[in-house]
């Protein structure tokens, strides 16, 4: 018996829905920031309502990313040829805001809140509530991760715990200091040796304009479980020597 076109379409709908909901990306960035560098700027920082965080790298986010920037924002011209206006293409290097109808629920991550307060605190002066920070990261990045809410935050926490950047740098003699500076290559080598994988580094400027290590971008496979060598180089605004200010 031949199936009608309508029947075939109905059978394929679940598969289409699954494919549409699965976000396509190539790897994650696990981004951790040094709190001393976040605060030691002209803008400064504010502590969350849970108090001053530990002097330790804190999670900024777990961000799905493309290995190669893609064209986005194309507009089709309606006509016999079905042409595409190539002039309206723009580059998109990561997916974001994939499901605004899925806000973060505290209930879903209730068993992780203590760890999140310690490892993923906000330093922004906008609210002082880390839950708002987590909600933003989930809405912008987590909804594109193909992970549920609990799995997304648990993955970031597990990776941070497995590879303690503060301890890895300290073992290499790279410790917070008001006066000392460190070769950027020494920091990069220490992280590669301590984790087994190369990471990307980002710097910012302190209130007097000196360069300081700000964020470490570790690359993670699509499962969110294993580190990989970063497939993309990064222009992280760093110089040959950088500071790691106390917090």
Condensed to tens digits (0 to 9), the pLDDT of residues 24-81 reads 899 999 999 999 999 999 889 999 999 999 999 999 999 999 998 887 554 433 333 3
User: What CATH number does the domain containing 97 carry?
Assistant: 3.90.730.10
Short-list 104, 93, 91, 92, CA closest to 143: 104
Structural domain count of the chain: 1
Evaluate whether 32 touches 213 at the Cβ level (below 8 Å).
no
CA distance 122 to 131: 9
Is residue 175 in a domain?
yes
What integer is the mean pLDDT of 222-246?
94
Whether the CB-CB separation of 133 and 172 falls below 8 Å is answered with no
pLDDT tens digits along 138-177: 999 999 999 999 999 999 999 999 999 999 999 999 999 9
Q: Is residue 2 part of a domain?
A: no
Q: What is the pLDDT of residue 77?
A: 35
Give the confidence band of 17 by pLDDT, cuts at 50, 70, 90.
very low
CA separation for the pair 104, 236 (Å, rounded): 30
Q: Work out the average pLDDT over 113-127.
A: 96
pLDDT at 18 over 90: no
Residue 81, domain extent: 21-242
Alpha helices (H) along the chain: 5-21, 35-39, 113-119, 130-140, 149-162, 165-171, 184-195
Catalytic residue among 141, 150, 193, 210: 141
- Please tell me whether residue 139 adopts helix, strand or coil conformation: helix
Strand partners, 30: 62, 218
Per the annotation, the verdict on 74 as an active-site residue is no
Q: Within 10 A of 54 (CB to CB), how many other CB atoms are there?
A: 12
Q: Which of 80, 96, 108, 137 does the annotation list as catalytic?
A: 137
Residue 6 lies in a domain: no
Yes or no: say if 37 and 212 are a contact pair by the CB < 8 Å rule.
yes
Average pLDDT, the chain: 87
Chain length of the chain = 247
Residue 247: DSSP 8-state? -
CA distances in angstroms from 69 to 63, 66, 93, 94, 203, listed in the order given: 14, 6, 4, 7, 23
Rounded CA separation 247/245 (Å): 7
Residue of 60, 74, 150, 193 marked catalytic: 60
Active site residue 60: yes
150 is catalytic: no
Confidence of residue 85 (pLDDT cuts 50, 70, 90): very low
What is the rounded CA–CA span in Å between residue 38 and residue 213? 9
Give me the pLDDT at residue 4, please: 52
Give the Cα separation of 92 and 90 in Å (integer): 7
Give, for 61, the enclosing helix (H) or strand (E).
Answer: strand 58-65
Examine residue 7 and state whether it is found in any structural domain, yes or no.
Answer: no
Q: Residue 57 falls within a domain, yes or no?
A: yes
Instruction: For residue 15, tell me if it sits in a domain.
Output: no
Residue 234 lies in a domain: yes
Query: pLDDT, tens digit, for every residue of 173-220?
Result: 999 999 999 999 999 999 999 999 999 999 999 989 999 999 999 999
- Whether 230 is covered by a domain: the verdict is yes
């Amino acid at each position: 018996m031949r199936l009608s076109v309508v029947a075939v379409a109905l059978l394929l709908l679940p598969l289409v829905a699954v494919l549409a909901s699965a976000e396509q990306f190539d790897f994650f960035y696990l981004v951790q920031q040094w709190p001393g560098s976040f605060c030691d700027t002209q803008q400064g920082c504010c502590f969350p309502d849970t108090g001053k965080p530990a002097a330790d790298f804190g999670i900024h986010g777990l961000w799905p990313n493309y290995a190669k920037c893609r064209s986005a924002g194309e507009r089709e011209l309606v006509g016999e040829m079905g042409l595409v206006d190539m002039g309206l293409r723009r580059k998109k290097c990561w997916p974001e805001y994939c499901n605004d109808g899925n806000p973060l629920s505290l209930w879903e991550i209730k068993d992780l809140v203590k760890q999140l307060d310690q490892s993923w605190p906000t330093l922004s002066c906008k609210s002082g509530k880390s839950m708002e920070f987590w909600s933003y990261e989930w809405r912008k990045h987590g909804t594109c991760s193909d992970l549920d809410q609990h799995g997304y935050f648990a993955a970031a926490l597990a990776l941070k715990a497995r590879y303690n950047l503060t301890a890895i740098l300290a073992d290499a003699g790279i410790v917070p200091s008001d006066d000392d500076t460190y070769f950027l290559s020494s920091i990069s080598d220490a992280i590669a040796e301590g984790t087994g994988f190369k990471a990307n580094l980002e710097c910012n400027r302190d209130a007097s304009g000196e360069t300081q290590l700000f964020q470490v971008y570790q690359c993670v496979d699509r499962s969110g479980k294993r580190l990989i060598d970063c497939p993309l180089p990064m222009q992280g605004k760093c110089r040959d020597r950088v500071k790691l200010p106390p917090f």
